[in-house]
Amino acid sequence: MARPTKRRQVCSLPDSERFGPLDIEADKDKIIRMRVDEYETIRLIDLEGFTQAECAEQMQVARTTVQAIYSRARKKLAMSLVNNMVIVIAGGEYSLCDDDHQGCGRGCRNRQYQGRGRNRKFRNREDQ
C-alpha cells in the first residue's frame, strides 16, 4: 500500500491560472496541466533564488520530493514553450499559508505584499 501524499506548503496561488501563446485556441491537445506545487517550486527556485533544500524547507517536504516536483515542472514549461501549448495551473496536494501577514518564510508572497494595501483572496482549486 502506497504512503499517502503529504500536502505541500504553498504561499499563494498564481494571479492567473492560464498561461501560453495568445494566438491559438486551447483545445485539449494543446493544454498542459501544472499542479500548484509545481508552480510553487518554479517560483521559489527560479524566481526567488532558493536552493532545493531551502525550497523543501519552505514547502515542508523532503529535498528529494522538491527535486522530483521541480523536474516535472521544468519539463512542462519546456513543452509549453517548444510545442506552443497552454499551461493551466490547478490541483495537487497543497495547503496555503495563513493570510495573517506573517507569511511562511523568506519567499512568501504574503509578506511581500504586507503594507502595500494589497488584499489577496485565496480559494482551493480541484483537479480538472
Q: What is the CATH number of the domain that holds 56?
A: 1.10.10
Most confident of 14-18, 75-79, 99-103: 75-79
Domain assignment present for residue 117? The answer is no
Residue 53 and residue 63 in contact, taking contact as beta carbons nearer than 8 Å = yes
What is residue 36's three-state secondary structure? Answer: helix
Cα angle 123, 67, 95; round to 5: 20
Q: Which domain holds residue 78?
A: 8-13+29-112
Domain assignment present for residue 102? The answer is yes
Please report which confidence band the pLDDT of residue 110 belongs to, taking 50, 70 and 90 as the band edges: low
Domain assignment present for residue 126? The answer is no
DSSP secondary structure code for residue 102 in this structure: S
Residue, of 113 and 90, whose pLDDT is higher: 90
Residue 10 and residue 40 in contact, taking contact as beta carbons nearer than 8 Å = yes
Total domains in the fold of the chain: 1
Domain assignment present for residue 72? The answer is yes
DSSP secondary structure code for residue 50 in this structure: -
Write down the pTM of the prediction: 0.76
Domain assignment present for residue 1? The answer is no
